[in-house]
Structure 1
Amino acid sequence: MSETETPAGTKTAKPAADETPLLKVEGLVKHFPIKKGVLQRQVGAVKAVDGIDFEVRRGETLGVVGESGCGKSTMGRLITRLLEPTGGKIEFDGTDITHLGTGGMRPLRRDVQMIFQDPYGSLNPRHTIGTIVSAPFKLQGVEPEGGVKKEVQRLLELVGLSPEHYNRYPHEFSGGQRQRIGIARALALKPRMVVADEPVSALDVSIQAQVVNLMDDLQDELGLTYVIIAHDLSVVRHVSDRIAVMYLGKIVELADRDSLYRAPMHPYTKALLSAVPIPDPKRRSAKSERILLKGDVPSPIAPPSGCRFHTRCWKATQICSTTEPPLAELKPGQRVACHHPENFEDQQPQDVVLLTAAKEAGKLVPEQTRAEPAAASEETSPAETSPAETSPSEAAPAEAVEATAEVESPAETEVSKETDDK
């Protein structure tokens, strides 16, 4: 998981020997109905997850990133079967668990666990810590060696808490300590797969490192498989073998860590990565390399047609508004859903008519960048030329794009009306 590990490709190479993935998801859909009136008739639906496909290999860590409201947490609850899918298929170790009930899922709960995002809402305030962490043993009828109390105290010590906290209540702990209690509960039965929804977001920086290292050690010791949902792209880069980027209920890019951070292919991924701060004092006076995204994330109740990112994309053309791009493998191990990908040949070179949103986004690009000729068509006049019409080899360097993309809150991704003074 760590970038400093010597065999960096070890985890990604292991699944090659085992052909069957641990988790396989096909066409997963979850729509939450919207009902109104006295008769509670359905008038619409929130399309939280709207058709995603991915696999989780044995022993690997899959990171999932995206803006708030893109469906990451819903996806995590679906693959752990805490929510009933509207459509699609979920297979765990070759077993179809898509529509298993509570009784059918009970034997599998020992193999699939979840660390919840809210450390305050995930713990029962009326139960002691010992009761909370020991609950999995009682529900599964497991008697650990040395007794339940001794094993719970060992788990508490393992996550950085004192064994003396056994008889205390959740309200006596801070948010970070409550999160570690949730981690201890999830790891109690030594599951095969753990879905972690923002596992370190409530912790300070020093504790984040401890928890990440703890999860790393447990993965090596127990052979765990992780699906980590997070906003912090730096943490995701450190812990993940592969990364899935979600936008408005869809996976727009899925690639191994090194390929995605070195050469992102989807414009949205490029915008997210441009927002990651670089802690280098020498770059204090350097020009910003961020990408400005115009507007807010569209409503999941009525998502845009075609590519869902076309309303904010600076490369969007007519085909982007009418045809949804498939999640295709353009490079080995890198799947992208885009008609005009970055760092790759244009998939729709014949379509050079920019949408209005793309033209407005083009205003954010410096003049010398817009002045470069478009390679896609000779019919387009120089005045209409924009970076969206150029091939990746002729596109302007990233340093020329001055922008900002915020992962946490869509409301903060509005475009600044200030332009560069040339």
Structure 2
Amino acid sequence: MSETTDVTTPDQTANKPGSSAEPLLRVDNLVKHFPIKKGLLQRQVGAVKAVDGLSFEVRPGETLGVVGESGCGKSTMGRLITRLLEPTGGKVEFEGHDITHLNVGKMRPLRRDVQMIFQDPYSSLNPRHTIGTIVSAPFRLQGVQPEGGVKKTVQELLALVGLNPEHYNRYPHEFSGGQRQRIGIARALALKPKLVVADEPVSALDVSIQAQVVNLLDDLQDELGLTYVIIAHDLSVIRHVSDRIAVMYLGKIVELADRKDLYTKPMHPYTKALLSAVPVPDPARRGAKNDRILLRGDVPSPISPPSGCRFHTRCWKATEICTTKEPPLLQLGTGHQVACHHPENADDQAPQDTVLLTAAVAAAEVAGVEVPADKEPAAAADSSAAAAAPAASEGAKTSKSDEDGAE
């Protein structure tokens, strides 16, 4: 009896988000560039930098939400960590094992533990196959013979996701969008995976169906002990399902924090702008509490992203340092990371001195002034600000002349 207790207790602890268990998934400086080729010889003339240096961890039983504008690299990131795409650089570890460049043969056993729910429930299902054939495909491809037979197991999966087991012999065109998404979820859960990557699982569904699918994912996580990485652009959905949230912009993570901290104290200006666009159902609070921030300009091209901070071309707080120095992803509070030289809501954060010192040193580097490593943060900030003032003034004049020329 004592041996059984020793074995089961760690597993139960591991399934709790935020526990001290080792990460189930670890991503380190992940990069994916799609080459652009031209000419008869198909020479590479550039690259689309879809994902350009992502680092994060996902612990067992946790739900990590990933949000951002269309084209920021969310879906590409999902396909990279499930190894449906080959990374250009970086590392992906699953349960402590490096799976970054495993070949097809070595990846096949791993497919049992890592599954993906695709965004479009219409194109992700083969219209020529019955639902029974689609959901039973993982058993056939992995050579798994479930207890009780394949048909019985598939019917149990259909019942688990809220479908009628008698739908076994029907075809995808006989189902609605919400039902098709449930079929995709059943297929992903067939082999009882440890990690499920859901790429915008409710974006193609009606609002009423979205709530049903989101609640279904929550119930399945509690029942099966699943770990989720959920990609979405709907901040309301992400807030409901996630434990932690990562905000992406132009191939990079600009903020990563606990759900509550992110929504109550967003630190990156881009996150603040996204949250300001969330509709408020109460008309009395709409104007006073949620002043919408309208970002200027368009999202830059991932073929040639801006230097320094990639958000500086649309940021109302951008200064000279933002155009030249890329901000690192620093932890400003307990579990709250942000990549910004001028973070929002950081006045009450304990490690703020570290942020000031980092920004001060970076500003001094831009101005060509050496700041001693042992200098106090406040003094470093004063000296670097004074040194960088001429450069910033010159940059402001240049920007003004550019605007006049554009007009």
1:254 aligns with 2:256: yes
Retained in 1: the 8 A contact 2:17–2:243? Answer: no
Retained in 2: the 8 A contact 1:179–1:202? Answer: no
What's the CA shift string for 1:160-191, capped at 9, x where partnerless?
22222211111222222211111110011110
- Cross-structure match for 1:323: 325
Q: How does 1:232-381 map to 2 (within 5 A)?
A: 232-283=234-285, 286=288, 289-345=291-347, 347=356, 348=359
Q: Give, in whole Å, the separation in 2 of the partners of 1:28 and 1:263.
A: 27
Cα RMSD (Å): 2.5
1:38 shift after superposition: 0.9
Q: Give, in whole Å, the separation in 1 of the partners of 2:317 and 2:133.
A: 55
AA of the residue aligned to 1:239:
V
- Cross-structure match for 1:46: 48
Give ranges in structure 2 of 5+ residues lacking alignment: 1-12, 348-354, 364-383, 393-407
- Cross-structure match for 2:212: 210
Retained in 2: the 8 A contact 1:318–1:351? Answer: no
Retained in 1: the 8 A contact 2:280–2:290? Answer: no
**Which SS does the other structure have where 1:16 is aligned?**
coil
1:134 shift after superposition: 0.3
Q: Equivalent of 2:112, from 100, 110, 113?
A: 110
AA of the residue aligned to 1:17:
S
1:27 aligns with 2:10: no
Residues 13 and 114 of structure 1: is their aligned pair in 2 closer, same or farther, counting only changes over 3 Å?
closer
Retained in 1: the 8 A contact 2:250–2:302? Answer: yes
Residues 284 and 90 of structure 1: is their aligned pair in 2 closer, same or farther, counting only changes over 3 Å?
closer
Retained in 1: the 8 A contact 2:16–2:61? Answer: no
Q: Give, in whole Å, the separation in 2 of the partners of 1:156 and 1:13.
A: 27
- Cross-structure match for 1:133: 135
- Cross-structure match for 1:147: 149
**Which SS does the other structure have where 2:108 is aligned?**
helix
Q: Give, in whole Å, the separation in 2 of the partners of 1:292 and 1:319.
A: 23
AA of the residue aligned to 1:334:
H
Percent of residue pairs bearing the same amino acid type: 80
1:71 shift after superposition: 0.1
Q: How does 1:81-230 map to 2 (within 5 A)?
A: 81-230=83-232
- Cross-structure match for 1:397: none
Q: Which moved more, 1:160-169 or 1:218-227?
A: 160-169
Retained in 2: the 8 A contact 1:246–1:252? Answer: yes
TM-score, structure 1 normalization? 0.79
- Cross-structure match for 2:62: 60
Q: Equivalent of 1:16, from 14, 19, 26?
A: 19
Q: Which moved more, 1:259-268 or 1:150-159?
A: 150-159
- The total of aligned residue pairs comes to 351
Retained in 1: the 8 A contact 2:14–2:20? Answer: no
Q: Which moved more, 1:287-296 or 1:135-144?
A: 287-296
Q: Give, in whole Å, the separation in 1 of the partners of 2:98 and 2:15.
A: 25
- Cross-structure match for 2:375: none
1:282 shift after superposition: 2.9
Q: Which moved more, 1:214-223 or 1:311-320?
A: 214-223
Q: Give, in whole Å, the separation in 2 of the partners of 1:208 and 1:164.
A: 24
Q: Give, in whole Å, the separation in 1 of the partners of 2:202 and 2:14.
A: 22
What's the CA shift string for 1:74-119, capped at 9, x where partnerless?
0000000000000000000011000011111100100000000111
Retained in 2: the 8 A contact 1:310–1:321? Answer: yes
Larger RCO (CA within 8 A; separation ≥ 6): 1
Residues 291 and 349 of structure 1: is their aligned pair in 2 closer, same or farther, counting only changes over 3 Å?
farther
Residues 31 and 200 of structure 1: is their aligned pair in 2 closer, same or farther, counting only changes over 3 Å?
same
Q: Give, in whole Å, the separation in 2 of the partners of 1:337 and 1:108.
A: 33
1:242 shift after superposition: 0.3
- Cross-structure match for 1:6: none
AA of the residue aligned to 2:197:
V
Structure with a larger share of its residues in helix: 2
AA of the residue aligned to 1:56:
V
**Which SS does the other structure have where 1:294 is aligned?**
coil
Q: Give, in whole Å, the separation in 1 of the partners of 2:385 and 2:16.
A: 42
Q: Give, in whole Å, the separation in 2 of the partners of 1:34 and 1:377.
A: 41
